[in-house]
Amino acid sequence: MIKMLNAYTAEVEDAEDALAEILGQIDLSSLLKNSAGILACHHEFIETGVAGEICRRLPFDVIGCTTIGSAVCGSFGLYQLSLTILTSDDVSFSAATAAAILPDHFEQPIADAYASAAAGMPGAPSLIISFFPFLFDVSNAVLLSSLNKICGGAPVVGAAACEGGSNENLWTLRNGQCEKRAVQMLLIYGDVEPEFITISLPARNIRHQKAVITQADGVVIRKVNNMPLMEYFASMGIIQSKKPSFTDMPLLIHYGNDSPPVAVGIYGFAEDGSAICGGDIPQGATLSIGVIDREGIMETAKAAIKKALSAAGRNGLLMFPCITRYLMLSPDSDEEVHLIRDAIGREMPYALSYAGGELCPVHDSDGELHNRLHNYSFTACVF
């Protein structure tokens, strides 16, 4: 069994004061045999060194990333550092960093990091919590595919780093070492049976028409129903600019095996009109077009929390909703978090941080888990 403890601070300048505030909320002497930490913070905590110093002063591995906003203990803030501690007598933890991720050099760092974390541990991990960088020259779908292959399909949950501004302050971290081109991973071993929740759009926000992706390359959609993508959009009456906002139009990718569709975003367009997407795009998959709006965001958040609260053996809840959800709710951007806070109350400890891409497995019709990268979605892990 894993016990979850939470703390937070808004002290972004003085590491001693921030640590004192954290330790005022968590008694480290109460920790069980094995512990690990998960940290989410505004990028200024990285730049002032406060996040790194807090990690260095804690007696266990800590991994995390920057976010546009995080919540624990009922407290949510943009300028907040949130710390979650997982502690257990019979579950063990091992962390590692895959650094220097480059377009032509990512598989070996991920393999080396996984091997380092898995060394001396018993068998395969029950769960991997991972934080990915947000890079414009390496797709996180490719990084997840690489990690999935190396870990043998062990379930991976987590987030890609995000921030609300220029996308220049995107960091992942481990034990005080902050990186812009690193994958962080925490391998969890033992009797852990997590439940995974992913909800993207309500059914009414998804067009009924489906099309076949007839030409694709990694994360790029080139042709749909044998038509260049822009022609397909035109045939559907969709006017799409060459440089769309990533909030405009979710694409629902149906991977087959009766697994639920995965929402992915369009990150940009190539000169030929092909779409560069936020998730894996297999040729032969089918595609639906969706729309994201306030009502859908609130409805799916409510449904996700209802499902989490009905899960058996609830000891803790990790939530990673998409940053787009927060931005689309403007000017009442905190509305989703307030709904979550009110719904959970003191039912169980929880941690939430907005994500630039959501890592969460989905089940197919046979009950088999498949690791997926999502956009627009509310993802959660109950354990």
The pLDDT, as a whole number, for residue 167 is 79
- Tell me which of 136 and 167 has the higher pLDDT: 136
Which DSSP letter does residue 173 get?
Answer: E
Give the integer Cα–Cα distance in Å for 234 and 200: 25
The tens digit of pLDDT for each residue in 171-199 reads 999 998 999 999 999 999 999 999 999 99
Phi-psi region of 376 (alpha: psi -120 to 50; beta: other; left: phi over 0): left
Give the integer Cα–Cα distance in Å for 173 and 167: 16
Cα angle 96-102-108, degrees, rounded to a multiple of 5 = 50
- Report which residue type is found at 3: K
The tens digit of pLDDT for each residue in 196-255 reads 999 999 999 999 899 999 999 999 999 999 999 989 988 888 765 554 444 668 999 998
Question: Positive or negative, the Cα torsion across 376, 307, 197, 178?
Answer: positive
Domain ranges of the chain: 3-199+296-382, 203-289
The pLDDT, as a whole number, for residue 239 is 63
What contacts 184, CB < 8 A, 6 or more positions away? 63, 64, 65, 95, 96, 97, 98, 130, 131, 172, 173, 174
The tens digit of pLDDT for each residue in 272-328 reads 889 999 998 999 999 999 999 999 999 999 999 999 999 877 889 999 999 999 999
The pLDDT, as a whole number, for residue 257 is 74
- Start-to-end CA distance of the chain, whole Å, equals 8
